[in-house]
């Protein structure tokens, strides 16, 4: 069996996670924020073994952008097979406007 993939976070994805943790901590306290972040990390780390288990929803620079629902957030990512890396490019709450257009190939 082949080795798993590594998960790497784009700065935009890290910022989205940090913003959400700060919001949850403000609204519900640090224990709830820590529990939420733990759940998100666990859901994202699952991509190490099954990165293609979730549908490609768009293209970014010619690479399929996949989407996985984790808790109440949509995780956007792409897979780089030569480096066996899953790049998390964004994390968006499902109640917010989709950022999918941002990941489509086309004129800027």
In tens digits, the chain (108 residues) has pLDDT values of 456 999 999 999 999 999 999 999 999 999 999 999 999 999 999 999 999 999 999 888 888 999 999 998 999 999 999 999 999 999 999 887 565 556 655 544
The pLDDT of residue 61: 80
Residue 50 lies in a domain: yes
57/21 Cα distance (integer angstroms): 26
What CATH number is associated with residue 21? 3.30.2310.20
Distance CA 105, CA 59 (A): 6
Q: Residue 62 sits in which domain range?
A: 9-96
Is 101 part of any domain? no
pLDDT of residue 1: 40
What pTM was estimated for this model as a whole?
0.83
Is there a contact between 8 and 86 (Cβ–Cβ < 8 Å)? Answer: yes
Contact 59, 65 (CB under 8 A): yes
**What pLDDT is attached to residue 107?**
44
């Amino acid at each position: 069996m082949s080795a798993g993939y590594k998960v790497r976070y784009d700065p935009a994805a890290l910022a989205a996670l940090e913003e959400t943790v700060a919001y949850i901590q403000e609204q519900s306290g640090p224990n709830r924020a820590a529990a939420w972040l733990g759940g998100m990390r666990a859901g994202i780390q699952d991509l190490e073994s099954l990165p293609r288990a979730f549908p490609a929803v768009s293209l970014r620079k010619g690479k399929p952008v996949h989407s996985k629902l984790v808790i109440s957030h949509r995780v956007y990512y792409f897979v780089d097979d030569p480096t066996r890396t899953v790049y998390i490019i964004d994390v968006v709450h499902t109640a917010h406007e989709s950022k999918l257009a941002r990941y489509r190939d086309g004129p800027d």
